[in-house]
Chains A and B, each alone.
Chain A
Amino acid sequence: AQSVAQPEDQVNVAEGNPLTVKCTYSVSGNPYLFWYVQYPNRGLQFLLKYITGDNLVKGSYGFEAEFNKSQTSFHLKKPSALVSDSALYFCAVRDTGSGNTGKLIFGQGTTLQVKP
């Protein structure tokens, strides 16, 4: 069965420091992987995705993520955190072996808290 795990409920970092939000996945085929961010009272906003190609994917707001097939991971990273990055982050996967209807499987979300 497809699944996504975000092992940390909350990540705390100081402004200016690098941040990592972890995600691991389990799929039967090749994964399509996504990161979304949710700010209070807003919908899920797309940050980046991995489909194929370069394992390091760059996205919005200076975020990037590294696809690691051997570790089945897709960790979200940013070299220098901003207070405004504080939000709820969701990792999601679509198993390419399960048809093409666009259904996403989400992780439980990680709250990122960036302190000044």
Chain B
Amino acid sequence: EPEVTQTPSHQVTQMGQEVILRCVPISNHLYFYWYRQILGQKVEFLVSFYNNEISEKSEIFDDQFSVERPDGSNFTLKIRSTKLEDSAMYFCASSDTGLAGDRKFFGPGTRLTVL
């Protein structure tokens, strides 16, 4: 079965630093997502992306966050100035149609630790 991959698996950074989390979605998928899970809390939606545009974002996804598909294979999440509360597991996902009932394929996650 095809897989979504994410790098790095663990990122440690100092507060105020910029981080870029990388994802390689499944090759024929067109819809991309980022979710995060703060330790002990629910998995939360951050953003969805299609056709080089954000199609929906949550209130968490403020001006400190941005997403990009810099080439035909990667999908990145950038946090410009990290805060302690950004420490979480970040999951990338992709789907082929983007429909509400569509199955999403999730990556293994990047654990971000902000010190």
Contacts and interface: CB of A to CB of B under 8 A. Distances in A.
Contacts of A100: 98-100
- The number of chain A residues touching the other chain, given as a range, is 20 to 34
Interface in B87-107: 91, 93, 95, 98-107
Contact of B100 (A102, A106, A107): A102
B4 interface: yes
Interface stretch (A12-20, A43-51, A63-71, A75-83): A43-51
Given A46-B104, A51-B101, A96-B100, A106 B109 contact: no
A104 B45 contact: yes
A52 B35 CA distance: 26
A102 B105 contact: no
In this complex, which of A44, A90, A104, A106 has the most chain B Cβ atoms within 10 angstroms of its Cβ?
Answer: A44
Contact of B42 (A41, A42, A49, A107): A107
Given A32-B101, A94-B100, A94-B101, A44 B45 contact: no
B108 A41 contact: yes
A101 interface: yes
B48 interface: yes
A92 B55 CA distance: 20
B103 A46 contact: yes
A94 B103 CA distance: 11
